[in-house]
Homo-oligomer: A and B are copies of this chain.
Amino acid sequence: MLDVTLAVPATVRAFSASALPWLDMGGIALFAASGAVAAARARLTFVTFCFFAAITGTGGGTVRDLLIGAPVFWMHDSVALGICLVMALIVWFTPQRLWQGKALDWFDAAGLAAYAVYGAAKAQAWGIPVVPAAGMGVVTACVGGIIRDVLAGVPSILIRPELYVTPAALAAGLYVALTAIGVSPVAAAGIATVAGFALRGIAIARGWRLPPYRGGEPE
């Protein structure tokens, strides 16, 4: 009973050690694929495919690790970079029509939600307080795509009229809020991932948007 506040970190650590790596690998693979698809649209070469896949797949997590003061995750084992190269190979050798429709958007939605939760959880594991930890979830989920768009010379996902940062903020914020009120990390991660994925999914399927800025005046 008395150990409730101490018990939570232990659960968090146990959860981190089991489920979180899978969220992480999934996020890397999905973002690497979206980087390779951007390279395909620009008709780039195979080496540049790999470069785009690696930067998009690892970019968000790299910025998160630099900000929280953790060793950059893909520096000390070769698995993450290997996943990116495999995704580049898969996109290169499969027919482009597989990657053109909304299929990729749905994978990307799953990666966005999973990566937002993983980023917030990793930041908390490194002792970052709740507000910046939620911010780290958003950074982990969004920065890879931002770098991909800037390098490809297309308008950044940030300024396209899609709900993209918002689902990431929902997933990261929910995870942080739920664990703060005592929900177990496993349940919080599940709820937050599903909520972020659902919001992004509605945006894809129905074109939902938040209202844009209208000049700060009542209408």
Residues of A within 8 A of B (CB): 39-40, 42-49, 51-52, 54, 62, 66-69, 71-72, 74-78, 81-82, 91-96, 98, 128-132, 135, 138, 142, 146, 150-153, 155-156, 158-159, 163, 165-166, 169, 209-217
Contact = CB atoms under 8 A, between A and B. Distances in A.
Contact of A81 (B46, B66, B131): B131
A209 B47 CA distance: 11
Contacts of A210: 45-47
B39 A213 contact: yes
Please report whether the interface of chain A is mostly helix, strand, loop or mixed according to DSSP.
helix
B92 A213 contact: yes
A144 to B, nearest CB: 14
A128 B75 contact: yes
Contact of A44 (B68, B138, B159): B159
Contacts of A211: 45-46
A22 to B, nearest CB: 21
Q: For the complex formed by this chain, how many copies does it contain in all? A: 3
B51 A165 contact: yes
Nearest to A78: B131
Contacts of A214: 43
Given A76-B129, A128-B75, A215-B95, A159 B153 contact: yes
Nearest to A98: B216
A76 B136 CA distance: 12
Given A81-B132, A128-B76, A129-B76, A212 B155 contact: no
